[in-house]
Amino acid sequence: MELTGAEIFVRCLRDEGVEYLFGYPGGAVLHIYDALYKQEEVKHILVRHEQGATHAADGYARSTGKPGVVLVTSGPGATNAVTGIATAYMDSVPLVVFTGQVMTHLIGDDAFQEVDAIGITRPCVKHNFMVKDVRDLALTIRKAFHVATTGRPGPVVVDIPKDITAHKAAYVFPKDPTLRSYKPVRDGDPAAIRQAAAALAQAKRPMVYAGGGVVLGNAATELTELVRWLGAPCTNTLMGLGAFPATDPLFVGMLGMHGTYEANMGMHECDVLLAVGARFDDRVTGDLDKFCPNARIIHIDIDPASIQKNVQVEIAIIGEAGLVMRELLAALKGTGVRLDEAALKAWWHKIDGWRARHCLEYDRANIEVIKPQFVLETLYRLTAGDAFITSDVGQHQMWAAQFYKFDKPRRWINSGGLGTMGFGLPAAIGVQLAHPDATVACVTGEASIQMCIQELSTCKQYDLPLTIVNLNNRYMGMVRQWQEFFYQSRYSHSYLEALPDFVKLAESYGHAGLRIDKPHDVEAALKEALGRRDRLVFLDFITDQTENVYPMIAAGAGHHEMHLATDRELA
Amino acid sequence: MRHIISILLENEAGALSRVAGLFSARGYNIASLTVAPTEDPSLSRMTLVTSGSEGVVDQIRKQLNKLVDVVKLVDLTDNERIEREMLLIKVAAEGEERAEIKRLSDIFRGRIIDVTDCAYTIELTGDGGKIDAFISVLQPRRILEVVRSGVIGIARGSITVKPDAPGT
Ligand SMILES: Cc1cc2nc3c(=O)[nH]c(=O)nc-3n(C[C@H](O)[C@H](O)[C@H](O)COP(=O)(O)OP(=O)(O)OC[C@H]3O[C@@H](n4cnc5c(N)ncnc54)[C@H](O)[C@@H]3O)c2cc1C
Ligand SMILES: Cc1ncc(C[n+]2csc(CCOP(=O)(O)OP(=O)(O)O)c2C)c(N)n1
Ligand SMILES: [Mg+2]
């Protein structure tokens, strides 16, 4: 029996095991929407803006490891989705985004709602396809899922002209999605692994720097075992938080621009650095000339292009983080040598000295104004560290990263590479749908939340009991901080003069809202919100306007050139 | 340093723009780029000439290999190889000049492929150096038009750039 392209589309999603499709209708995809109407297996989530669809699918993907799936119409539907696609691309998140396209014979004629979606998305996708024949549709969709989810994951766009969704073809689920030109490596080179084991076994001041690749590759268990066997300090990037348990004594916190003193000093003074699934981003390395000056560097990454890109490393191992770390641990055990115990002890003594600086300390004595850090500490305590936390971009994001101790991967959902304001709320939608019984909180700021605020309406439609933690400092705090430090406090356009009443705003969307402006009300408000499983609660915390994120390494400085809260005058 | 890179590419719409887009997005140099289908109609062969420090060229190779449409990539720079480029040049040729230009063309093993009362069009193939040299000997005369194909290259000996052969 022949099916229409639209029916084939739906069958493909079903056969790929797609649970949710995040989308927004329009002319070019109406055949598909009609096919969706006639079935119940693939649940469609109607967002309020296509950016929201891509971020929601992204939150779904990051929190589950499964691909997020999006459907938008041609023209403005496709362009609205671009920010979300680029966000997923920078953080290597598997998405499959279907964009409607004008009819094949109209392509290139500046037809109504025509954009070159393939051209526009090309620089921010792992790959994209245009379907030109209904008989290619099923295989193309299969390939899209295959490419998005294997190797270094990433978003894939499939552009489907409207006439293709009306044409008919026989449907068989294609068994083999492989492409001759695409064969990601999985196993590391045994010789390189042996070399790495030998280097690590000789380390006197080892350090493990693990990133988002460990989360993406589901390799947290292997990382934890390896680090514990080594007895080495472990730091995570912003994207790697949760890859190693934050409450483990071997964890020294996040590294980089707003990382801890102990993590950054550890990087500066280590003699062997093991980097796993991390890409030596400039927010992490700072000044490359001053980066890890004394270390032999081992780098495990699935993407050859991540290796030797910013930092020259001595031992490179291309492969899946989990597989490689398992082999590496076996090789280490095989050598029969353990790390020099006295050296390790001296190393930890040094690290404990750095830890004693308590670089994340803040003014807890203040009972007048709410310190943002206090809200996050309380959130951590009340959820026993077990919530899914999504975040927007700014100071609040850094404080969430510093003060919420993630013991498990895929619990910390934020936009690191692109730094997309507006990500937090829609991402939380995807997370809550994937984990209906879990506690999901979105940590945001009054500027960020307004970038996708319309998704509060989606939350209402699907009864998602999120907790919104709005750290409202009436400033684009992160911008204000840079202006304070680097532009002599000229706060050019970083103050938000006309803020909405967020409580009323939440209420108008059908949610509950609370404004909290005294520190002693913080805990009760969070308890109230987290306890409500029947509705979304928007907590508007009026926080200290002048608080800055510390420690801080100015862009382009070295790891040892950190500014701490206690030496404010340096900043 | 100058690198000459051979690529087998899926012969699909958009594949070329992925390569070109990569170079502009990442700020890599591109000296020349030629592309045409091969004996296997599903594949195109591209020859790319670029330059940069070893680190940059290493990234170029890796980023190209990462493109899903790239089936095979071989950096010919380290191999014994043959490079060829084709030149079509139209040069004013009047009076005594005509014989002299014909002689120069013969010396370079060029072929005059079009003749008018006042101009010759000459076809010449060779490596880039030979083409440059020919253009410069014609320089004192009146060059009307120059078209260069860009470099194509092939490894000497039994090394081939095939979908299943080892790449770099
Ligand atoms: C306001 C702001 C401030 C920031 N400050 C900091 C900061 O202080 N510290 C910080 O760390 N970041 C910070 N960032 C984030 C930063 O911009 C980068 O996004 C982040 O550092 C990159 O993390 P990563 O190196 O773990 O790489 P990711 O982007 O997570 O990349 C993952 C790497 O792992 C590889 N990989 C993927 N899958 C696998 C697998 N299965 N096996 C092996 N490898 C795999 C990929 O090829 C890639 O190289 C900040 C961002 C913002 C917006
Ligand atoms: C879409 C987008 N535009 C601009 C920026 C630049 N930017 C980074 S942080 C920030 C301010 C965020 O303010 P807010 O959400 O209130 O968070 P705060 O820093 O105050 O906690 C801005 C404008 C960005 N990251 N994303
Ligand atoms: Mg703010």
Given an 8 Å threshold on Cβ–Cβ distance, is B10 in contact with A123?
A: no
User: Residue A442 and residue A461: Cα distance in Å, rounded?
Assistant: 18
Place of tokens 């304070």: A484
Ligand nearest to the CA of A424: 2
Summarize the confidence of residues B103-129 as an average pLDDT.
96
Given an 8 Å threshold on Cβ–Cβ distance, is A179 in contact with B68?
A: yes
Amino acid identity, position B120: Y
pLDDT exceeds 70 at position B12 = yes
The model's confidence at residue A569, banded by pLDDT at 50, 70 and 90, is very low
Instruction: Specify whether the backbone of B165 is left (phi greater than 0), alpha (psi in -120 to 50) or beta.
Output: beta
* CA B155 / ligand 2 centre spacing (Å): 53
Chain B, nearest residue to A147 by Cα? B68
Radius of gyration (Cα) for chain A, nearest Å? 24
Mean pLDDT is lowest, of A8-17, A281-290, B106-115, for A281-290
- Nearest chain B CA: its distance from A108 CA (Å): 14
Contact of A204 with chain B, judged by CB distance below 8 Å, is answered with no
The model's confidence at residue A570, banded by pLDDT at 50, 70 and 90, is very low
User: Residue A461 and residue A234: Cα distance in Å, rounded?
Assistant: 42
Given an 8 Å threshold on Cβ–Cβ distance, is A123 in contact with B63?
A: no
- Nearest chain B CA: its distance from A562 CA (Å): 29
The model's confidence at residue A1, banded by pLDDT at 50, 70 and 90, is confident
Instruction: Specify whether the backbone of A489 is left (phi greater than 0), alpha (psi in -120 to 50) or beta.
Output: left
pLDDT tens sequence across A521-534: 999 999 999 999 99
Q: What one-character DSSP code corresponds to residue A564? A: P
- How many other C-beta atoms can be found within 10 angstroms of the C-beta atom of residue B111? 12
| Residue A240 alpha carbon, nearest atom of ligand 1 | 26
Ligand nearest to the CA of A414: 1
Question: Ligand 1, from A258, A279, A553: best to mutate by most atoms within 8 Å of Cβ?
Answer: A279
> Quick one: what percent of chain A has pLDDT higher than 70?
99
The model's confidence at residue A571, banded by pLDDT at 50, 70 and 90, is very low
Pocket of ligand 1 (CB under 6 A): A 91-92, 152, 211-213, 216-217, 237-240, 254-259, 277-279, 281, 283-284, 301-303, 306, 320-321, 393, 397-398, 416-417, 419, 478
Q: Which among B8, B63, B60 has a CA at the least distance from the CA of B29? A: B60
- Nearest chain B CA: its distance from A268 CA (Å): 24
* CA A8 / ligand 1 centre spacing (Å): 37
Question: Ligand 2, from A396, A476, A480, A550: best to mutate by most atoms within 8 Å of Cβ?
Answer: A476
Identify the pLDDT of residue B158.
86
Chain A, nearest residue to B73 by Cα? A181
Summarize the confidence of residues A459-471 as an average pLDDT.
98
- How many other C-beta atoms can be found within 10 angstroms of the C-beta atom of residue A204? 14
Between the CA of residue A425 and those of A79, A390, B10, B167, what are the distances in Å?
20, 7, 40, 45
> Considering only residues 152 to 181 of chain A, which have any Cβ-Cβ distance to chain B shorter than 8 Å?
179-181
pLDDT exceeds 70 at position A568 = no
Work out how many CB contacts closer than 8 A connect A with B. Answer: 37
The model's confidence at residue A456, banded by pLDDT at 50, 70 and 90, is very high
Identify the pLDDT of residue B168.
56
- Residues in A closer than 8 angstroms to B70, CB to CB, are 181
pLDDT exceeds 50 at position A192 = yes
Name the strand (E) or helix (H) holding A523.
helix A522-531
Identify the pLDDT of residue A519.
97
pLDDT tens sequence across A313-360: 999 999 999 999 999 999 999 988 899 999 999 999 999 999 999 999
Contact B122, B111 (CB under 8 A): yes
Backbone angles phi, psi at B116, to 5 degrees: -130, 180
Identify the pLDDT of residue B167.
58
Identify the pLDDT of residue B165.
66
pTM of the model: 0.97
Summarize the confidence of residues A68-95 as an average pLDDT.
98
pLDDT tens sequence across A220-267: 999 999 999 999 999 999 999 999 999 999 999 999 999 999 999 999
User: Residue B161 and residue A445: Cα distance in Å, rounded?
Assistant: 54
- Residues in B closer than 8 angstroms to A126, CB to CB, are 68
- Residues in A closer than 8 angstroms to B68, CB to CB, are 126-127, 147, 179, 181-182
Identify the pLDDT of residue A546.
95
ipTM: 0.92
List the single residue in A123, A126, A181 with the smallest CB-CB distance to B10.
A181
* CA A478 / ligand 2 centre spacing (Å): 6
Q: What one-character DSSP code corresponds to residue B68? A: T
Averaged pLDDT of chain A: 96
Between the CA of residue A409 and those of A25, A213, A224, A530, what are the distances in Å?
34, 11, 11, 21
Catalytic positions of A, please?
Answer: 50, 112-113, 162, 478
